[in-house]
Structure 1
Amino acid sequence: MELLRNAVRPYAWGSRTIIPELTGRAVPAPHPEAELWMGAHPGDPSRIIGPDGAERSLLELVEADPEGQLGAHCAQRWNGRLPFLLKILAVEEPLSMQAHPSAEQSAEGYAREEAAGIPRDASNRNYPDPTAKPELVCALTEFHALAGFRDPDRTVKLLRAVETPGLAKYTELLAAQPDSAGLRALFTTWITLPQANLDVLLPEVLDACVAHVKEHGEFDLECRTILELGEAHPRDAGVLAALLLNRLVLGAGEAIFLPAGNLHLYLHGTAVEILANSDNILRCGLTPKHVDVPELLRVVDFTCCDMPILSGEPTDCGAVYRTGAPEFELSRCEWDTGDRHELRIPNGRPQILLCTAGTLFVRAGDGRSLELARGQSMWLSASDPEAAVHPVGEGPAQLFRATSGT
């Protein structure tokens, strides 16, 4: 049971205030800070802070004693790797549009690229590892995203609301086949348009979105999003692809689960994210990074429906977000002002506890204890005894618990 010192990832889409303020550092930061990583990812593992202040990489700790740190079942199932990574996301500007492969696709793609001799850190590498990358994002503040393909009938209505001479034939393409096959056909057509055609169509669509916003039309939020993306990426086919996705607004405590093949894009807000410990990403657009269209089309799931927003399965103090992903499980516990109830943390699995509000007192069954301030996190190995958590002071307080899947 030890505190963690975690890596900050300074991607350009991040915020200069959210993560520094959460972790008690000077605000604003000199550069955007996008993600706070908690786990044993080889690219930036957390460091364990011992009682004497000495530090050790969590990755090295797990590699040296996988069964003791992860438990026998988890160590065997995931070949001695911590299967999840926990993050704080501070999204100031939209990310790239992307999807993640399934376990089978990842294993096959990794083997194929290894055989082809593509370096694992090459810019055109799609599969740097052989594992899937499902993820769940839980909002800390209002959180905006595009995720999953909207019902085609609803999308046809949107396209007709912003119709232009150049857009009409694409609208009718989907109207003639309003199902997953029709979505695949339209999506494929748009992301493979010659740049010259795209340079004509995109300005038409953006002008139509401006007019729709001025009229306070039914699809005001969707059109504002297209305008935001079009301003940042004026010649990118991903702007058109965004017209096909569900536009979501999550309230604090609400979550979405993104299984293999789900095309998505985070737009704005602060959230806790848990994901499989993998780097496999197939990008669609809205990025200068590598886009492999044929491989993307093999991975994307064109199933169309409303994207479920998860409130979690209620617990004594919050919720657990069950997804069926074998790599991870996330739960949330909250204490109101004056609430002093004790949360029991069972042992036997690797766990990371993250405090996002207040200060928490954690006591292990062997008598060890520590305080967890806002923005701090701690590691509980599978071998650690059961622990108990309660707030320090009058609260309120909030805790996220990440562990391997059941």
Structure 2
Amino acid sequence: MELLHNAVRAYAWGSRTAIAELLGKEVPTPHPEAELWMGAHPGDPSRVVAPDGGSRSLLDLLADDPEGQLGARCADRWGSRLPFLLKVLAADEPLSLQAHPSAEQAANGFAAEDAAGVPIDSPIRNYKDPSAKPELICALTEFHALAGFRDPLRTAVLLRSLDAPDFAPYGELLAAQPDDSGLRALFTTLITLPQTTLDLLLPQVLDACVLHVKEHGEFDLECRTILELGEAYPGDAGVLAALLLNRIVLQPGDAIYLPAGNLHAYLHGTGVEILANSDNVLRCGLTPKHVDVPELMRVLDFGFGDMPVQTGVETSPGLWMYRTPCPEFELSRIEVGPSSSTGDVRVDHTGPQILLCTRGRARVTTGRQSLVLDRGQSVWLSAQDPAAVISADIDTQLFRATAGVE
């Protein structure tokens, strides 16, 4: 069991306060801080801190002893690669509208781009690796997102409520075919509109959203979102595509799972995110980055309906698991302290684990070894470590990342 030193990633959409406050640093920061990475991603691996204060890359630790660190089952499937990446994500501005491929799609896409000679660092490369990238986000604060296609019957009502004459025919396309095929047809039409047409339609749609909000229409939150996106990304087709998606507000402890093909965008808030250790992103809009429409259409899932929101299932005293079908990862939330009736919390796993303290202060004990985790600190537990016992004198929250169980 070793403490981790983790990288903070700075992106323009990040927060100047959320991650710094978690880490006990001065706020506001000079630049936005968007993500805190915990894991063995080659781009910014965590460093394992030795008792003498020295450190080494978690990547190197895994390469030297994959079976000892990851366990036989995990090492047999993933080699020396840690299959998950744990993050704290802090968004003050909307992220790009995007989807991720399945394992088969990623493997085929990666091979095709390799065969075509597209450099791995090319800005037009879609596939950085041959792996899937499912993910799950659990809110630490109120967290706002767009995720998955709304029921087309409901979307047709929304579109008809907007007084935008030149946009009305597009809404009627969906009203005439309110199913996955209708969604696909309308979505494809919107994201391939010529810029001259977008420049005509977007101001009308934004004006209609302003009117809808002023009149306290039933789609107030959806219209406010479109206005926010329109201001952040003027002239972007993704603003219109966002009209088709579920608008979600998560409370702390709520989570959504985003499987392959799910179109989504995080809008605002701080959360703990766990994802497969991959860089594969197919962007749709709300970004100046490369958008490959044909490849995006190959990946997207046009199934529709409300996004299931999880609150966690208490699988043992003090431990709530967020269930997914992913072999790459599993996320659990741990609550321990005076307000808990469970006492100390015991966690065990046959593979690797990362524990992150998000509130309070925890003591983690494995056998004869004991470490104190302050808020914002995390610890690496190898497959060889004994079961961990977590105790706290104040109300404390941790998150546990592990490999999934097939």
TM-score clears 0.5? yes
Alignment match, 2:263: 263
Give the stretch that moved more between structures: 262-271 or 381-390. 381-390
Alignment match, 2:118: 118
Q: Deviations over 1:167-217 (max 9, x none)?
A: 111111001100000000000000000000010001000000000000010
Matches within 5 A, 1:2-401: 2-315=2-315, 316-339=317-340, 341-365=343-367, 367-391=368-392, 393=393, 395-401=394-400
Partners of 1:17 and 1:38 lie apart in 2 by 19
Give the stretch that moved more between structures: 159-168 or 239-248. 159-168
How much is the aligned-residue C-alpha RMSD, in angstroms? 0.9
SS at match of 2:208: helix
Alignment gaps of 5+ in structure 2: none
SS at match of 1:297: helix
Q: Deviations over 1:94-121 (max 9, x none)?
A: 0000000000000000001111111111
2:2 maps to a residue whose letter is: E
- Could you tell me whether the CA contact under 8 Å between 2:85 and 2:277 is conserved in 1? yes
- Could you tell me whether the CA contact under 8 Å between 2:337 and 2:391 is conserved in 1? no
**Percent identical residues:** 70
- Could you tell me whether the CA contact under 8 Å between 1:357 and 1:397 is conserved in 2? yes
Q: CA deviation at 1:336?
A: 4.9
Alignment match, 1:403: 402
Partners of 2:168 and 2:16 lie apart in 1 by 42
Partners of 2:37 and 2:303 lie apart in 1 by 31
SS at match of 1:331: strand
Partners of 1:130 and 1:346 lie apart in 2 by 30
Q: Deviations over 1:370-392 (max 9, x none)?
A: 1010000000011111111111x
SS at match of 2:21: helix
Q: Deviations over 1:108-138 (max 9, x none)?
A: 0000111111111111110010000000000
Q: CA deviation at 1:320?
A: 0.3
Q: Deviations over 1:139-182 (max 9, x none)?
A: 00100000000000000000001142111111110011000000
Q: Deviations over 1:56-102 (max 9, x none)?
A: 00011111111111111101111321000000011100000000000
Q: CA deviation at 1:318?
A: 4.1
Partners of 2:245 and 2:76 lie apart in 1 by 38
1:108 maps to a residue whose letter is: N
Alignment gaps of 5+ in structure 1: none
Partners of 2:101 and 2:143 lie apart in 1 by 24
Partners of 2:45 and 2:254 lie apart in 1 by 28
Number of residue pairs the alignment of both structures matches: 403
Partners of 2:277 and 2:36 lie apart in 1 by 14
Partners of 1:7 and 1:121 lie apart in 2 by 21
Q: CA deviation at 1:314?
A: 2.0
Partners of 1:198 and 1:402 lie apart in 2 by 43
Q: CA deviation at 1:335?
A: 2.6
- Could you tell me whether the CA contact under 8 Å between 1:149 and 1:303 is conserved in 2? yes
- Could you tell me whether the CA contact under 8 Å between 2:336 and 2:390 is conserved in 1? no
SS at match of 1:82: coil
Partners of 1:99 and 1:347 lie apart in 2 by 31
1:329 maps to a residue whose letter is: E
Q: Deviations over 1:251-278 (max 9, x none)?
A: 1100000000000000000100000000
TM-score after normalising by structure 2: 0.98
Give the stretch that moved more between structures: 63-72 or 186-195. 63-72
Q: CA deviation at 1:347?
A: 3.6
Partners of 1:68 and 1:79 lie apart in 2 by 12
Partners of 2:68 and 2:197 lie apart in 1 by 58
